[in-house]
Amino acid sequence: MAVKTILVKGADSRDMARQASEALAGFQPKLMLFFASGIYSQPEAALKEAFPGVEIIGSSSHSEYCNSQFTDGAVSIMAMDSGSVEDVCVRVVENIAGGPDLRGVLEDMHNYFGGVDQVLNDYESYVGLVMFESGAKSEEIFMDRLGTVTDLLFVGGSSSAAEGCESLVFANGRSYAGAAVLAILKTVNGYDVLKTQSAHIFSERRLLVTKSDMKNRILYEFDGRPCGEVYAEVLGVPLEKISDYFVSNPLGVVADGEIFVRTFNQIQDGGITLHCGLPEGTEINVLEIGRIVDDTKKALDEALTYEPAGLINFNCLYRTLEIQKENVVTPYCELFGRCPSIGFSTNGEAFFGHINETSTILVIK
């Protein structure tokens, strides 16, 4: 078996790691990916001790998915052996809020595999994973720079945390705040990336972002007018009611038919704060949220015409809260029980850029 997934609840991190070690006895992982509830202290160190010599990366999580299960207070783990991942290169970029130059680290990662040409000539084998510590709120700028310095596809998400717990990402047996963990996987049988957002275009009217504060994620104007006023006009609702529609009608950049969702946060400082900044010049559509289970099933059924080795689901926390509200957690999770899978409720997803209210899924073939 090339991929194994386990969901562990332990008395503490050491107990969690012990249970993981027992469950994976006889299996030789090349890479382990884990999503851990913040109730576990230093899970990365406990796992590193239990699995010496294994590359281990992860993120803190608000709630965890594993196969057809959903829970919280647990650690969801995917272990990949050399039958699915031939090699992996992990690097950590700290202080991402400072806008680091990523050329050096990507050059180093490409060179690990023999250089950028080697990687890009075998595009079907190499894929990047990225996990952000979400407190830095710098994902969109980081993803823009990452996409500028590499043509390799990176997919992933931003850390979340259970109430009162710390948001962190993990690598090298250490935890990091304000950082991004990057991993390039050389897969044995290839990979696929899925993105499903259960959001559809509400209005064909495209709105031009004419004033925004990208860094602070504040949107001020569409088409030279206050953005709230234009948003209300598109929806056909009174201006004072627009915040009632922020969850059901987010914004989307539509790139050749592919929707990249940006969700609202709140009205602030004469503008509206978003969970992802929008650069001026961007054209957006107002969206409407659809049926998450139906849309996710459709996306998985269309893409998975084969038996995958494993799925990694970076599922927006908004979507988790929505399926809980709609009481459809079980049918949603059953969609992921078809093969070994793990996931967690993210504070933002990564696919070309930083996106919201989306599920980005890395499929290991």
| 123 is an interface residue for another protein by CB under 8 A | yes
Q: Which stretch binds another protein (CB under 8 A): 8-16, 51-59, 281-289, 331-339?
A: 281-289
The yes or no reply on residue 279 touching another protein (CB under 8 A) is yes
The answer to whether residue 281 forms part of the interface with another protein (CB under 8 A) is yes
Residue 253 near another protein by CB under 8 A? yes
Of these, 120, 200, 270, 326, which contacts another protein (CB under 8 A)?
Answer: 120
User: Shortest gap between Cβ of 342 and another protein (angstroms)?
Assistant: 26
Least distance from another protein to the Cβ atom of residue 198, Å:
20
Instruction: List the x/- string, 144-173, binding to another protein by CB under 8 A.
Output: x--xx--x-x--------------------
The distance of closest approach from Cβ of residue 123 to another protein in the complex, given in angstroms and rounded to an integer, is: 6
For another protein, the binding residues in 47-86 under the rule CB under 8 A are none
Question: Considering the rule CB under 8 A, would residue 223 count as an interface residue with another protein?
Answer: no
Q: In this complex, which beta carbon is closest to another protein, that of residue 122 or of residue 288?
A: 122
The answer to whether 184 contacts another protein (rule: CB under 8 A) is: no
Q: Which CB sits closer to another protein, 137 or 145?
A: 145
Q: How far is the CB of 276 from another protein (least distance, A)?
A: 10
* Contact track, another protein, 344-363, x by CB under 8 A: --------xx----------
Binding of another protein by 206 (CB under 8 A): yes
HSE-up (13 A, CA, CB side) for residue 149: 16
Q: By CB under 8 A, name the one of 204, 256, 266, 325 that touches another protein.
A: 256
Q: Which residues bind another protein (CB under 8 A)?
A: 120, 123, 144, 147-148, 151, 153, 206, 209, 253-256, 258, 260, 278-283, 352-353
